[in-house]
Structure formats: structure tokens, C-alpha cells
Amino acid sequence: MVMTDKKLSILAIAALAAVVLVTAQSMFTGGQSREDSDQITYLIQGLDMDMVSGISIKGSSGEPVSIIKEDGEYYVESLSGYPVKVSKLNEMISKCLDVKIGKVYTTNPSNFEDLEVTKDKARYNIQFLASDGKVVTGLIVGKNKGSGNYVRKFADNNVYVSEESFFASTSANSYVERNIVKVEGTDVEKVSVKTPEGSYEITNENGSKKLIGIPEGMQTKGTDFHSVLDALGRVNFTDVAKASEMTELNFEYKYVSLLNDSTVYTFEIAKKGKDYWAKCSAEFTNKEKVIKKNEVESEEELKKKEEILLKREAAAKFNDRHEGWVYKLPSWNAKNLTKHFDDLIEKIPEEKPTEKVEDAQGQTAEKATAEEKSQDSTEGPAAKQSAEQTSEKEPSENGESKPAEQQKKKGSAEQNDKQTEGNDNNQTAEESE
């Protein structure tokens, strides 16, 4: 979709009507306005888009965005004439027509540079051009002043302070539809990828994603292949050019996505240095003829036919928009569309010999037990004899060793026997007398 003369004229008329309404309200209320008692009005009071053949949008730096009109439609000249995005151009024009001003701040051109309202130093220099290149009208926006900016109309020395701060995009990409396609991963049935090294497929059956053709001894590298299946989830471009201007591109990669509604999207990708460029197309492969029957058809049948017609129309519009253009893709986006099969697979890790390890551990334990038994068997008698000797040498309660104690007891017993024998002899002698 492109911006037409009719749509822009309607927008300009609406803006002019708003100006008339504000003026009428001001007159009805006796000309009351802001605290400075000056009437609030618009810097640009109306704009006839029939007189406009081009728009130049320049910021404080960089090249201006050039928008041109051909056959009643507008294109971004600085992007090889790519069609404008209607809503974005409408937004920019509305901002220009909606700049409200109060009293004159200065009319002295010597102050312009300090206020940054010269053509070279301006933060924004927006011009609406006639077919001969002359400026129909425009505005120059300078530095901030309170909640607004210093502003003046093109070719007018009256400088005002705007009621609100002004902002407009000065990037060419902001005035085009950068999104190429957006497909939900659940809608994808199958993708086919062709690279210089070969081709492969990924299927998606009822949510079960599968990489086809994995060699024996290999496996998928995690879920990396999912990003290939979902690569059309959001495809934007960062630059665009006419295909006729990029004939040196070699489209070695091909990505084909089949949706479950029979729509097929095809992207052919070329790599130029570090950049990826792509051209794309769409096809609705359901060739069923849609014929209106004379008999009354059910709501379900009518809905089915309507869906088929809408899908065919969507594919046709897609081709009308993208035919003849090549798009520079972000690297992350392009890499998902061009991944090699080998980048998606890896070797299956070898299984660890867990049983052998357990056997070895078991044998080690048995060997340790056997050595302990052998040691007990060898050291048993010597240990017993040593224990007995130790027992004999153990001290008694009075601190003497057991052999000394026994010897002492033996000597004491012999002394007692001798004493008894002596007593018996004395008794016998007394009896004899």
C-alpha cells in the first residue's frame, strides 16, 4: 500500500478544518489565549497536497530523507524508490500541520544561528516541494525553549516558540514497512533448506519437530534446528534495493516454508561480504476452483471458499509488493534461513563402561578382604604369644610384677612352715621333762 494524492489531500483538508475551528473558537471567546494574551495559532495554516510533488526531511546531521510523488503515489527516493508506509507519512505530515505557536519571539536573522533556526543548524528542516523543486511551504525547528522549540516557517523571518516539543523521524527506514513476513511457528508444516553443501528438510507434524536424514551415529544438536523451522517468525529488512541494481548477487541459498494452509513462502538468499540479501515470493498451492453454485450453500462451505480466495489474494499482494526488490537482512535473521545441515547435528556421545568399573571396584574390595584375612592368619600365633608375655609382665595391684609376687608368696609360706616346726619341737621337749 502506498500513499495516494487523495488520501494526503483529505488529511490536509482535515488539518485546515481544525485550524478554522480553533480560530472560530478564539473569535467567539473574545480572542482570549495563553497568559501572554496573544492568540494561539498554527505555524502552517493548511496545505494543499495537490501542489506537493516531494517532501524533504532533514535532521541536524546526515542526508535528508527524500520522498517523491509519481502518478499520485509517494515513494522514498533515498531507498531506491520503495513505497512509503501510509501511516508513517500521515503521522509526519500531521505533526508539521499541528505546530502551535504564540507571539513572535524575534524577526532578526542575526539571532537565527543562536536559536538554531538556520537551514544548516536546524534540528529539523522539513520542506514540501512543488513539481519544479520550489518550496511550497515548510518549517524549521530549532533548539528547545521551555516545553517547546524555536520554530519558523520556511522563507519567513518570524521566529516563534512552539507550544510543544517537536519530533519527527529523519531515518528513511521509518517511512516504509520494514516487515517482510511474520509466520507463527505452529502454522509451519515443513521447511526445505538448500545450501551450497546440500539440502535438508525439517517437518512439524502436530507439534513434533523432526530433522530429516540424520546419519547413523549422529543426533540433533539440542534444539538448534527449531530456529530454522521458525525462521519466518519475524523477517525485517535493514536496507532495500531494486533487483536490477544488484545483478552481482549470487543466490546460493534457498529457504522454502510450507504452511498448513497451503501457502508457500520462498526466500532466495545471497551473501555479499558480511551482508545477506534476499528476494522473496509467495504461492498459494491450493488450486481448488471456487465456483458459486446455484443451490443454497452451507455457511461452512461459504467460509471455506472465502478463506481460499483470501489466501490467494494475500499471496498475490505479497508478490506485488516484493517482486523486483532485494532486501538486506539482519545477520541473525539470515543465519536462521541459511544454516548448514552439519551445524545442526553432532556425534552421539560414547556410553561410559559403567559395568566394568563396578566389576573392577568389586574385585578390589574382595582383594582387600582377602589380604586382611591373610594378615590375620599369619600374625595370629605371634600375636597370641606376645599377648601372653605382656600379660605376665603386667604389674599387680601393689605395683610388682606377677613372678615377683609369686616368689614372695612362696618364701613367706616356707618361713611359716619353719616357724611351725620350731614350735612343735619346743613343745615336745617340755613334755619330756
Question: What does the pLDDT read at residue 28?
Answer: 31
* Of 276, 280, 254, the residue nearest 328 (C-alpha): 276
Q: How confident is the model at residue 90 (pLDDT cuts 50, 70, 90)?
A: very high
The 10s digit of each residue's pLDDT in 102-118 is: 899 999 999 999 999 99
Task: Name the CA dihedral angle for 68, 73, 74, 79, rounded to a multiple of 10 degrees.
Answer: -90
Q: Which residue has the higher pLDDT, 3 or 330?
A: 330
Question: What does the pLDDT read at residue 371?
Answer: 57
pTM of the predicted protein model: 0.71
Sheet holding 239-242, edge to edge: 208-211, 198-205, 188-195, 253-259, 263-272, 275-284, 325-329, 239-242
The 10s digit of each residue's pLDDT in 381-431 is: 444 454 444 444 444 444 444 444 455 444 554 555 544 444 444 444 343
Question: What does the pLDDT read at residue 341?
Answer: 98
Mean pLDDT over 33-62 rounds to: 81
Annotated domain spans of the chain: 5-175, 179-347, 354-392, 395-424
Cβ proximity of 282 and 264 under 8 Å: yes
* Of 116, 109, 198, 108, the residue nearest 151 (C-alpha): 116
Question: What does the pLDDT read at residue 289?
Answer: 84
The 10s digit of each residue's pLDDT in 282-299 is: 999 998 887 776 677 788
Cβ proximity of 256 and 192 under 8 Å: yes
